[in-house]
C-alpha cells in the first residue's frame, strides 16, 4: 500500500484547533480572526497563516512525493497586498508534522493559479523528531522547514531565521517566482508540474487546442489579456 494514502485528511476547523492547542501555551501568541487562513500575532508581529493537509502528489513515477496546494480564494487578494507575512504550512497528520516553504515566495504565488502546489517527500516527514527542525532541498530548488506540531511555538520564535530577507535570498526567491514568467499581462511559461503532466499527452500528440483549453481553464481569469491564440502559442512551445 502506498504510504501517501495513510495521510489523513483533516477539516480546516480541526487544523486550526491543532495549531491553537500548541500556540495558546505561549504568552506571546494572540489569535485574532479567521479559520483557514487565520490572522494571528506572535510577539509584536502579525501573520496570516494558512494550514492545509499534505497529500500524495499522485505522480506515477514518484509515489513518495507529497504536496500541499494553494487554491484560489477571494480573500487571498487582500492578503497578498497586505503588509503582513503569509505563512503556508502543510500538515501531515500521520506524523504530526508541519512543512513550511519560503513564505515570501508563497505570498507571491497566491491566486496565480487554480491550484498551486508546494512539494515535500513522505520520508522527509517521517524522519522528523521532537525538538528539532530539519531542512531538505527539493529538486525544484525549494528548501522547506519540517518540524513536529509540538515545536510550533519555537517555529514562530525563529521564523525569520529560516527565510531571512537578504540580497542573496531575494535573488533566490526571484528565481523561484520567475518560474511564473509573464510580461504585459500575458503568461510566457508554465512551471506547474501537475499541469504540465496533465497536458503532456496532448502536447505529445500535437493536440495543442485541447492543451490550450485545459491551461486556460486552469488559470481561469488570472491573465485576462490571454486569448485562445496566446494559449495555443504557449503550449505549442513547451519542450
Q: What is the band of 193 on the pLDDT scale with cuts at 50, 70, 90?
A: low
Minimum mean pLDDT among 29-38, 91-100, 173-182, 224-233: which range?
173-182
d(CA 239, CA 178): 18
Three-state DSSP class for residue 63: coil
Predicted pLDDT at 146: 96
Q: What is the pLDDT of residues 76-135, one digit of tens each?
A: 999 998 889 999 999 999 999 999 999 888 998 898 888 888 999 989 999 999 999 999
The model scores a pTM over 0.85:
no
* Of 52, 60, 39, residue with least CA distance to 101: 52
Confidence of residue 225 (pLDDT cuts 50, 70, 90): confident
Check residues 8 and 117 and name the one with the higher pLDDT. 117
**For residue 218, what are the CA distances in angstroms to 64, 111, 114, 142, 230?**
25, 11, 6, 23, 15
- pLDDT tens digits, 124-156: 999 999 999 999 888 777 889 999 999 999 999
Decide: 98 and 90 in contact? Cβ < 8 Å. yes
Give CA–CA dist 134/131, Å, rounded.
Answer: 10
221, pLDDT greater than 90 = no
In the chain, domain spans: 3-177, 182-236
CA nearest neighbour of 147 among 87, 67, 92, 104: 92
Percent of the chain with pLDDT over 90: 45
Amino acid at each position: 500500500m502506498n504510504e501517501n494514502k495513510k495521510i489523513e485528511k483533516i477539516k480546516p476547523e480541526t487544523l486550526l484547533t491543532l495549531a491553537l492547542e500548541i500556540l495558546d501555551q505561549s504568552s506571546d501568541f494572540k489569535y485574532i480572526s479567521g479559520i483557514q487562513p487565520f490572522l494571528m500575532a506572535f510577539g509584536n508581529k502579525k501573520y496570516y497563516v494558512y494550514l492545509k493537509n499534505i497529500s500524495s502528489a499522485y505522480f506515477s513515477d514518484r509515489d513518495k512525493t507529497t504536496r500541499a496546494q494553494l487554491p484560489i480564494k477571494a480573500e487571498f487578494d487582500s492578503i497578498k497586498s497586505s503588509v503582513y507575512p503569509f505563512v503556508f504550512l502543510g500538515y501531515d497528520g500521520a506524523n504530526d508534522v508541519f512543512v513550511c516553504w519560503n513564505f515570501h515566495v508563497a505570498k507571491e504565488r497566491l491566486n496565480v493559479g487554480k491550484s498551486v502546489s508546494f512539494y515535500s517527500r513522505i520520508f522527509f516527514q517521517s524522519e522528523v523528531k521532537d525538538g528539532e527542525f530539519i531542512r531538505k532541498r527539493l529538486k525544484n530548488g525549494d528548501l522547506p522547514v519540517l518540524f513536529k506540531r509540538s515545536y510550533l511555538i519555537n517555529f514562530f520564535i525563529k521564523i525569520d531565521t529560516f527565510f531571512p530577507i537578504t540580497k542573496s535570498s531575494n535573488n533566490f526567491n526571484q528565481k523561484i517566482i520567475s518560474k511564473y514568467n509573464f510580461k504585459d499581462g500575458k503568461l510566457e511559461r508554465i512551471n506547474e508540474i501537475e499541469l504540465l503532466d496533465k497536458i503532456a499527452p496532448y502536447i505529445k500528440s500535437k493536440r495543442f487546442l485541447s492543451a490550450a483549453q485545459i491551461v486556460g481553464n486552469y488559470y481561469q481569469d488570472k491573465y485576462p489579456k490571454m486569448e485562445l491564440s496566446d494559449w495555443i502559442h504557449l503550449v505549442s512551445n513547451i519542450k
